[in-house]
Chains A and B, each alone.
Chain A
Amino acid sequence: MRIQKVDVAVVGGGPAGLAAAIAASSGGAEKVTILDRNKTLGGILPQCIHNGFGLHRFKEDLTGPEYAQRFIDRVEELKIEVKLETMVLNIRPEKKILAINAKEGIFEIEAGSVVLAMGCRERSRGALSIPGTRPSGILTAGVAQQWINLEGYLPGKRIVILGSGDIGLIMARRLTLEGAEVKAVVEIMPYPGGLTRNVVQCLYDFDIPLFLEHTISFIHGKDRVEAVTIARVNEEKEFIPGTEKFIDCDTLLLSVGLIPENELSSSAGVRLDPFTGGPVVDERRQTSLEGIFACGNVVQVYDLVDHVSLEGDIAGKNAALYALGKLKQPKRLIKLIPGRNIHSLVPQLISGEDMTTIFVRVKTPEKSVKLKMGQGIKEVKKPLVNPNQTLTSTLSLKELVLLNALDEVEVSIIKEGRE
């Protein structure tokens, strides 16, 4: 078997991997290689043809393909090696990657450091256990997006969308503009999953009904979806009898959440966080295995690609330092613990030595609150927190000094005025 030696190997060529590879190469790593199973770089971005990308990073309103191209151009300029249509089979803790493609067969990469950037996957019907038959015409919103925007197929004519995450909302508009009829968007929670901007511009603009606190109670159809029954749910998310509505449709799209893709990470032995579903990382984005870093949606599902790229920058820079033997390992690590109304946070561990930005996702929406870190370390007022928006908070060196005596710090959302 052929063995190739590289300084930094990046697994995944989406926004996180692209940013990581660029940061690693700019940071002095001589040989940087990106491995991706797809035919093109950019991950999911080429199919996200809508605008709204890059407002933070480039101060411009870009579409997905435009955002990706800026990074792909830089990868080419830096002569970063790209292996496409390449499947990584496993990663070992000693930073050896086993991969396969049609040109080279099976080969091994011995890397100075590894960056995990595999992104996330859509939750599918199997994870929901919706009663009913198993006809064709049920697909995830992202797959529908790929068919419409990259391949030119309309998945159906009369559509119901389960889940009101941003991808589902974007697809409601896209399908409507392409001539399909979107009959309903059905959301189990009492508030929409996606951004208000998307609720207004993707649903209200086209008079698409949004059913909050509703879910699908039955899928009808033998070979093809023929209809769905939706029902209102109570606080325990149980169907309320007598509230059923029968909606005739030929296609059901699922937009019911994203899951970090960590099969390779777990087989390597990387420790995972039950709250994020991704690797436990420190502020350099190093995982529990020395020299293996992780960034982007593989670590925690982000709402903005700009944040994913930022994570890639951090992981790539530190992966290069590690490969060059210049990364100082932290003396100690302080644990950040999710407290009241915190769903998950990244990084989970901080050294307290460098300024660090914490990315936080909350469980439920709340108004007039504070993001609180530890006792008297930091409190920041937030007029509104929402599960669909990642909060960021940067700890300055001054605040980090206060952490130094501690082993763990609780991060929580508190009501204003409360101690």
Chain B
Amino acid sequence: MDKTREIICIICPLSCQIKIRVKNKKIVSLESNGCRRGKEYAEQEFYNPQRVLTTTIKVKNSDSSPLLPVRTDKPIPKEKLRECMQYLANIEVETPIEIGQIIASNILKTAVNVIATRRLKS
């Protein structure tokens, strides 16, 4: 049986509400997308939605800042966001830290690294 789903496009401010019909977990038709980029976005969102994760990591030895902000250097699968947060909650780092420094590599075997987004001097 066909199912329908709506995906709101976020590529541009027009925010098209793209309607997709799904059969056997595959998109069989797609409408109301204003442009080609909307089609690509809807397909990506349907088959493999991804997000950049930003959060903070505990800093052991800093008296100026108890937290280090970090982000994934590439988007990770959306369903792994919470698992990734759990993993990062158990990590602690020590200063000095440079922007771009890898804090956790290949996190949850996603081939994505978590990198520092702030410089912390010792």
Task: Say whether A418 faces chain B, with CB atoms less than 8 Å apart.
Answer: no
Instruction: Determine if B56 and A177 form an interchain contact, defined as CB atoms under 8 angstroms apart.
Output: no
Q: Which residues on the A side are within 8 Å of B53 (C-beta)?
A: 177
Task: Say whether A341 faces chain B, with CB atoms less than 8 Å apart.
Answer: no
Q: Which residue of chain B lies nearest to A52 when distances are taken between CB atoms in the complex?
A: B52
Task: Say whether A200 faces chain B, with CB atoms less than 8 Å apart.
Answer: yes
Instruction: Determine if B56 and A149 form an interchain contact, defined as CB atoms under 8 angstroms apart.
Output: yes
- With the chains together, A384 CA to B34 CA distance in Å? 13
Task: Say whether B3 faces chain A, with CB atoms less than 8 Å apart.
Answer: no
Q: Which residue of chain B lies nearest to A195 when distances are taken between CB atoms in the complex?
A: B13
Instruction: Determine if A196 and B67 form an interchain contact, defined as CB atoms under 8 angstroms apart.
Output: no
Count residues on chain A whose CB falls below 8 Å from chain B CBs: 30
Instruction: Determine if B15 and A196 form an interchain contact, defined as CB atoms under 8 angstroms apart.
Output: yes
Instruction: Determine if A177 and B81 form an interchain contact, defined as CB atoms under 8 angstroms apart.
Output: yes
A46-B118 CB under 8 A given contacts A61-B52, A69-B99: yes
Q: Which residues on the A side are within 8 Å of B58 (C-beta)?
A: 152
Q: Which residues on the A side are within 8 Å of B99 (C-beta)?
A: 65-66, 69
- With the chains together, A335 CA to B108 CA distance in Å? 58
Query: Interface size for chain B: under 10, 10 to 19, 20 to 34, or 35 or more residues?
Result: 20 to 34
User: Using a CB-CB cutoff of 8 Å, which residues 170-227 of chain A contact chain B?
Assistant: 177-178, 195-197, 199-201, 204-205
Instruction: Determine if B10 and A49 form an interchain contact, defined as CB atoms under 8 angstroms apart.
Output: no
Q: Say which residue of A50, A63, A150, A196 sits within 8 Å of B13 (CB atoms).
A: A196
Q: Say which residue of B15, B55, B78 sits within 8 Å of A49 (CB atoms).
A: B55
- With the chains together, A172 CA to B12 CA distance in Å? 22
Instruction: Determine if A69 and B65 form an interchain contact, defined as CB atoms under 8 angstroms apart.
Output: no
Q: Which residues on the A side are within 8 Å of B64 (C-beta)?
A: 39
Q: Which residue of chain B lies nearest to A70 when distances are taken between CB atoms in the complex?
A: B99
Instruction: Determine if A383 and B66 form an interchain contact, defined as CB atoms under 8 angstroms apart.
Output: no
Task: Say whether A235 faces chain B, with CB atoms less than 8 Å apart.
Answer: no
Instruction: Determine if B119 and A69 form an interchain contact, defined as CB atoms under 8 angstroms apart.
Output: yes
Q: Which residues on the A side are within 8 Å of B66 (C-beta)?
A: 151-152
Q: How far is the CB of B6 from chain A (nearest CB, A)?
A: 11
A200-B8 CB under 8 A given contacts A49-B55, A69-B99, A177-B82: yes
Instruction: Determine if B78 and A205 form an interchain contact, defined as CB atoms under 8 angstroms apart.
Output: yes
How does the 8 Å CB contact mask read for A252-287 relative to B, with 1 for contact and 0 for none?
000000000000000000000000000000000000
Task: Say whether B51 faces chain A, with CB atoms less than 8 Å apart.
Answer: yes
Q: How far is the CB of B117 from chain A (nearest CB, A)?
A: 4
Task: Say whether B19 faces chain A, with CB atoms less than 8 Å apart.
Answer: no
Task: Say whether A124 faces chain B, with CB atoms less than 8 Å apart.
Answer: no
- With the chains together, A205 CA to B64 CA distance in Å? 34
Most chain B C-beta atoms within 10 Å of own C-beta, residue among A51, A178, A389: A51
Instruction: Determine if A149 and B67 form an interchain contact, defined as CB atoms under 8 angstroms apart.
Output: yes
Q: Which residues on the A side are within 8 Å of B69 (C-beta)?
A: 46, 49, 63, 65, 149
Task: Say whether A386 faces chain B, with CB atoms less than 8 Å apart.
Answer: yes
Q: Which residue of chain B lies nearest to A148 when distances are taken between CB atoms in the complex?
A: B56
User: Using a CB-CB cutoff of 8 Å, which residues 25-80 of chain B contact chain A?
Assistant: 51-56, 58, 64-67, 69, 71, 78
- With the chains together, A39 CA to B118 CA distance in Å? 15
Task: Say whether B111 faces chain A, with CB atoms less than 8 Å apart.
Answer: no
Q: How far is the CB of A54 from chain B (nearest CB, A)?
A: 12
Q: Which residues on the B side are within 8 Å of A49 (C-beta)?
A: 54-56, 69, 71, 117
Instruction: Determine if A177 and B55 form an interchain contact, defined as CB atoms under 8 angstroms apart.
Output: yes
- With the chains together, A314 CA to B81 CA distance in Å? 40
Q: Which residues on the A side are within 8 Å of B81 (C-beta)?
A: 177, 205
A66-B117 CB under 8 A given contacts A149-B56, A177-B85, A389-B13: yes
Q: How far is the CB of B15 from chain A (nearest CB, A)?
A: 4
Q: Which residues on the A side are within 8 Å of B117 (C-beta)?
A: 49, 62-63, 65-66
Q: Which residues on the B side are within 8 Å of A178 (C-beta)?
A: 55, 85
Task: Say whether B14 faces chain A, with CB atoms less than 8 Å apart.
Answer: yes
Instruction: Determine if B13 and A384 form an interchain contact, defined as CB atoms under 8 angstroms apart.
Output: yes
Q: Say which residue of A152, A195, A389 sits within 8 Å of B67 (CB atoms).
A: A152
Interface residues of A (CB under 8 A from B): 39, 46, 49-51, 61-63, 65-66, 69, 148-152, 177-178, 195-197, 199-201, 204-205, 383-384, 386, 389
Considering the complex of A and B, which 4 residue pairs feature the smallest CB-CB distances, nearest first? A49-B69, A65-B118, A196-B15, A197-B10
Interface residues of B (CB under 8 A from A): 8, 10, 13-15, 51-56, 58, 64-67, 69, 71, 78, 81-82, 85, 99, 117-119
A-B residue pairs in contact (CB < 8 Å), sample of 15: A51-B52, A62-B117, A65-B69, A66-B99, A66-B117, A69-B99, A69-B118, A150-B65, A177-B55, A196-B8, A196-B15, A197-B10, A201-B10, A201-B51, A205-B81
